Amino acid sequence: MWQERGRIMARFADLVERHADELAALESLDAGKHPAVTKAVDIGNAAGSLRYFAGAADKIHGETLRMRGRFQGYTLREPLGVAGLIIPWNFPTTMFGIKVAPALAAGCTMVVKPAEQTPLSALYLADLAKQAGIPDGVINVVPGFGPTAGAAMASHMDVDMVSFTGSTEVGRLIMEASARSNLKPVSLELGGKSPLIIFDDADLDMAVDLAISANFFNKGEACVAASRVYVQESTYDRFEKKLAERMKSWVVGDPLNDSRVDQGPQVDKAQYERVLSYIELGKREGATLLTGGRPCGQKGYYIEPAVFTNVKEGMVIAKEEIFGPVMCLMKFRTVEEAIARANATRYGLGAGVVTRDLDVANRVVRSVRAGLVWVNCYFAVCSDCPFGGRGMSGFGKDEGMHALDKYLAVKSVVTPIRGSPWL
């Protein structure tokens, strides 16, 4: 049974890769994502998750227990039952794979609710799952709005757990619905305001490139985006100058019709207006707009990526998740100051440190409160790397073997031992 489950999941992964062009087109139409990037990143992540957990399907073991007296014990790890999977609009294909794969490996059935902005890839993936041989009723895709379909899933008495990726505000609602219904366990991967700390010994060109990709990849629509960039004072001016120069070549436009495009449109009008409102707020708060921050083109939801300088920690743009192409650039002097300011947030999803000094890197890694810390890189993730946060960034892990735990129940079994003289 478990071996066959793994083989079917591997066939599913093959089909995802075989239909990469169609999935990339759907992602671009739904979310404004760059097709080439979607094929390389999003679809690769989804297929990779399916293959990774296909290999885990026949390796779900319990453990033996050292019981006192004339008893022996062991544990079984059993599927929780029906998993409610609520996926976001910024990485629809990736998040479908990341959540569906461990649930399948664990033996759960599932109801998947894609975001109302981006339902097409989930529906297409459900069809590929059927082609791969996954039985009817195992993966059920139910498009709908959060306050209706999502709320119904979170409060349903026959849904045994919920895994949600999205905003902190909605995460709270899901926890409340779980408590009011059947006390189903929840796993929440929520918002972030991640810091990127750049020390004066860093390679300046690499640091600038990392700051740009950590902020503006996927149009800034990433929960783990490093929207707070701290640069050590002695190198700050050179960093700012090089960053401003580098942003002159950044291309915003339609990724379906121009291969030179670095950044497509925001996902919808509401998000477009939200990002622009934060940019205006940042200017009113007294931050300096170094580059960008204006709408682009005659139609569509395009925004020039904004880089703010002279940002203070108390400003709203430095505290709240914007979920768009907005970078807050700030100075620091010492390692101690950098750590303290990095931790001055309610969130705790990701963080980055750029330095050539291993001692400094280790100190920051052990001091910054975050679920994932990158050293001299950013956005480096894979199926074997647990992903999830702490604080108001939620709890529970996607990816890695830790992801299996949330879909499994542990059952203890105890039996007597008769006639053993050595007990």
CA dihedral 397, 403, 409, 414 (to 10 degrees): -110
Query: Residue 263 to residues 158, 219, 297, 317, 319: CA-CA distances in angstroms?
Result: 42, 6, 13, 21, 24
Q: What are phi and psi of 300, to 5 degrees?
A: 90, 175
SS (H, E, C) the chain: CHHHHHHHHHHHHHHHHHCHHHHHHHHHHHHCCCHHHHHHHHHHHHHHHHHHHHHHCCCCCCCEECCCCCEEEEEEEEECCEEEEECCCCCHHHHHHHHHHHHHHHCCEEEEECCCCCCHHHHHHHHHHHHHCCCCCCEEECCCCHHHHHHHHHHCCCCCEEEEECCHHHHHHHHHHHHHCCCCCEEEECCCCCEEEECCCCCHHHHHHHHHHHHHHHHHCCCCCCCEEEEEHHHHHHHHHHHHHHHCCCCECCCCCCCCCCECCCCCHHHHHHHHHHHHHHHHHCCEEEECCCEECCCCCEECCEEEECCCCCCHHHHCCCCCCEEEEEEECCHHHHHHHHCCCCCCCEEEEECCCHHHHHHHHHHCCCCEEEECCCCCCCCCCCECCCHHHEECCECCCHHHHCCEEEEEEEEECCCCCCC
Cα 186 to Cα 175: distance, rounded to the nearest angstrom: 7
Residue 313 has pLDDT above 90, yes or no: yes
Q: Residue 298 has what pLDDT?
A: 82
Percent of the chain topping pLDDT 70: 99
Q: Residue 402 has what pLDDT?
A: 94
Q: How confident is the model at residue 420 (pLDDT cuts 50, 70, 90)?
A: low
Distance of CA 99 to the CA centre of its chain: 11
Mean pLDDT of the chain: 96
pLDDT digits (tens, 9 = 90+) for 117-137: 999 999 999 999 999 999 999
Question: Amino acid letter at 41?
Answer: V
Q: Residue 297 has what pLDDT?
A: 83
Percent of the chain topping pLDDT 90: 93
Q: How confident is the model at residue 421 (pLDDT cuts 50, 70, 90)?
A: low
Domains and CATH numbers, the chain: 2-190+389-413 (3.40.605.10), 195-375 (3.40.309.10)
Residue 13 has pLDDT above 70, yes or no: yes
Q: How confident is the model at residue 382 (pLDDT cuts 50, 70, 90)?
A: very high
**Residues involved in catalysis:** 189
Q: Mean pLDDT over residues 247-272, rounded? A: 93
Are the C-beta atoms of 193 and 351 separated by less than 8 Å? no
Q: Residue 141 has what pLDDT?
A: 98
Q: Mean pLDDT over residues 223-229, rounded? A: 97
Q: Residue 423 has what pLDDT?
A: 52
Q: Residue 69 has what pLDDT?
A: 85
Statement: the pTM of the whole predicted model exceeds 0.75? yes
